[in-house]
Amino acid sequence: MSNEKQQGRIVSISGPLIVAEDLPQAHMMEVVRIGNEKLFGEIIELHKNLVYIQCYEETTGLRPGETVTSSGVPLSVTLGPGIIGAIYDGVQRPLDTIYKSHGDYIARGIDVDPLDYSKKWDFHPLVKDGDIVKEGEKIGWVEETPTIKHYIMMPPGRSGTIESIQEGSFTVKEPVATVTEKGISQPVTMLQIWPVRTKRPFAKRIVPTQPLITGQRVIDMFFPVAEGGTACVPGPFGSGKTVIQHQLAKWASADMIVYVGCGERGNEMTDVLMEFPHLKDPKTGRSLMERTILIANTSNMPVAAREASVYSGITIAEYFRDMGYNVAIMADSTSRWAEAMREISGRLEEMPGEEGYPAYLSSRVAGFYERSGKVQTLGGSEGSLSVIGAVSPPGGDLSEPVVQATLRVVKVFWSLEASLAYARHFPAINWLNSYSLYSNLTDAYFKDTIDTLWPTYRIQAMSLLQKENELNEIVRLVGTDALSESEKLVMEISKSIREDFLHQNAFDDIDTFTSGRKQFYMIQNILSLYTESLLRIRAHKTLKVSDIMDLPVRASIARVKYQPEENIEKCNLTTHIKEALDKLTSTLEESND
């Protein structure tokens, strides 16, 4: 794409859609500056001598006849030291810098550097003069935060022989090395600029087999997502989508987190911006922001910028994946992005698809999620990018087009249900509707690191929950008296699975995160109670389920979730369960005698 700038003029304005003319050298997806205030926009359609532009800023006061200036470059993000811990808007303008220089409100047309170009970073080489380096290879690093080493890589498409490389303090624009390729010497800086709609290249894909540990029991045990996997979190208003996204951002076992607030309510994004800097990373005990990047694009911001925010977020995430890190991106919510597509499509007078969404909705959604994956990078290391997107279907309707387009490409479906949320069961993930296609792949990891019985317990617990759902139909018709003692036991144990295992308090210091070992003990306790009780009910016809549920050990099982991780061995109650049931049956036998 040419870097030559040209000027046209505005012909018409329709909300965020601008039509301009006299830009004969314009390219698709080229960035332009609109009007006297130099508003930020992107070319999305070319028609004869007319150029259609989506403006990423408020267009109030813009008039036909004002100029449109091309930039000659596509919408891109700036990548380099200084990006970790930053809070950006949808087009990578740092909000903290804007606040310091312009106050609480983002002025229209403001142009702020995404990185501090004057700050010097201590560069440490990993290669030496005379070494042959290939594209994507790490040539050095800077300690951006005590948590993350920011590796400086050869830009994609560039390779050669290191002519010179030096250790010292440099700005991101100053050369840290000189590389010779085909007799031509060119400098290498710590800065990379990458177009957001273009995938960053990698060597090959790897089958994801290691789970992304979240500390959320319903996810890790029943519906795991793999490192490099994709997950969808649909649900109606108030069902807890944002809380789940926050929990994953806080506790997921990823090295880097990119959180994109796409069209979300301002107060929810404010919670993130206010809370995250004060949160402690459970891995290091330091601030969570030392491994987090936030992109804030709230619902009161121009609708077109939502598209820029999701693409900027995924491109930044790919950059850290290429360093060999495990990265997770939370997009909350992709429905707002789809609504922006629908609005722009309508203003373009395109033929509408289902429910007014454009015909390309599915391909855009698929293209976003397909940028996930576990890969071998160009530099030879392994990295992963996990994509977890929230979807906000109207009224919780899962047949809605955005949900269906998402489900066709993701492999994990966490179905949030309003009835569970209203019953104050959180996370409100419906265990009967949700699924994970990674379970069989991640079982080997849990067998090796936790216990060989992990998949067995998962299957047994899910079977009990499904059996409970069937028995509920009988109970609704004729009551619990129609059930046998073994069926009553199923109901009680399933209730324990729901209340003592699946229910988790995000705001309790202990219950908010549960390690894999503790999760195993918790489900083992419940299933041991079921197995041991079933054996005794079959052996002692007079034994009642109510007697079993009144045992003190039943309350002990419920309290395990509040047992600190440092007391992990106290979570295993299988011996106590067996002893309590033995004592109960002995007492029963004595009374019968």
What's 150's domain CATH number?
2.40.50.100
CATH code (residue 61): 2.40.30.20
Q: Is residue 90 part of a domain?
A: no
Residue ranges making up the domain that contains 173: 121-190
What does pLDDT average to over the chain? 92
What would the two tokens of residue 239 be? 């069902």
**What local confidence, expressed as pLDDT, does residue 343 receive?**
92
CATH code (residue 496): 1.10.1140.10
- The answer to whether 252 and 385 are in contact (CB under 8 A) is no
The answer to whether residue 2 scores a pLDDT higher than 70 is no
**What local confidence, expressed as pLDDT, does residue 497 receive?**
97
Max Cα–Cα distance, the chain, nearest Å: 102
Instruction: Indicate the residue type of 274.
Output: M
**Residues 146, 26 share a domain:** no
Q: Is residue 115 part of a domain?
A: no
- Going by C-alpha positions, the residue among 213, 251, 193 that lies closest to residue 77 is 193
Give tens-digit pLDDT for 41-83: 999 999 888 999 999 988 999 999 999 999 999 999 999 999 9
What would the two tokens of residue 548 be? 């079993």
DSSP string, 310-333: HHHHHHHHHHHHTTT-EEEEEEET
Which residue, 158, 190, 222, sits at the end of a domain? 190
Which residue, 440, 464, 489, sits at the end of a domain? 440
Q: Is residue 373 part of a domain?
A: yes
**Residues 556, 474 share a domain:** yes
- The answer to whether 256 and 317 are in contact (CB under 8 A) is yes
Q: Is residue 224 part of a domain?
A: yes
**Residues 228, 173 share a domain:** no
CATH code (residue 310): 3.40.50.300
Give tens-digit pLDDT for 203-261: 999 999 999 999 999 999 999 999 999 999 998 888 888 889 888 988 899 999 999 98
Q: Is residue 80 part of a domain?
A: no
Instruction: Indicate the residue type of 546.
Output: S
**Residues 363, 239 share a domain:** yes
Give tens-digit pLDDT for 526-579: 999 999 999 999 988 889 999 999 999 999 999 999 999 889 989 999 999 999
DSSP string, 14-69: ETTEEEEE--TT--TTEEEEETTTTEEEEEEEEETTEEEEEESS--TT--TT-EEE
**Residues 564, 536 share a domain:** yes
**What local confidence, expressed as pLDDT, does residue 127 receive?**
95
The answer to whether residue 441 scores a pLDDT higher than 90 is yes
**Residues 278, 135 share a domain:** no
**Residues 185, 302 share a domain:** no
Give tens-digit pLDDT for 278-327: 777 777 778 888 899 999 888 877 788 898 999 999 999 999 999 999 99
Domain count across the chain: 4
The answer to whether residue 3 scores a pLDDT higher than 60 is no
**Residues 209, 169 share a domain:** no
Which residue, 157, 190, 223, sits at the end of a domain? 190
Q: Is residue 177 part of a domain?
A: yes
User: Could you tell me where the beta strands, DSSP code E, fall in 189-229?
Assistant: 192-195, 204-206
- The answer to whether 426 and 504 are in contact (CB under 8 A) is yes
**Residues 208, 175 share a domain:** no
Q: Is residue 346 part of a domain?
A: yes
**Residues 311, 166 share a domain:** no
Q: Is residue 390 part of a domain?
A: yes
- Going by C-alpha positions, the residue among 395, 461, 402 that lies closest to residue 432 is 461
**What local confidence, expressed as pLDDT, does residue 540 receive?**
87
**Residues 390, 308 share a domain:** yes
**Residues 390, 436 share a domain:** yes
408 φ, ψ to 5°? -70, -15
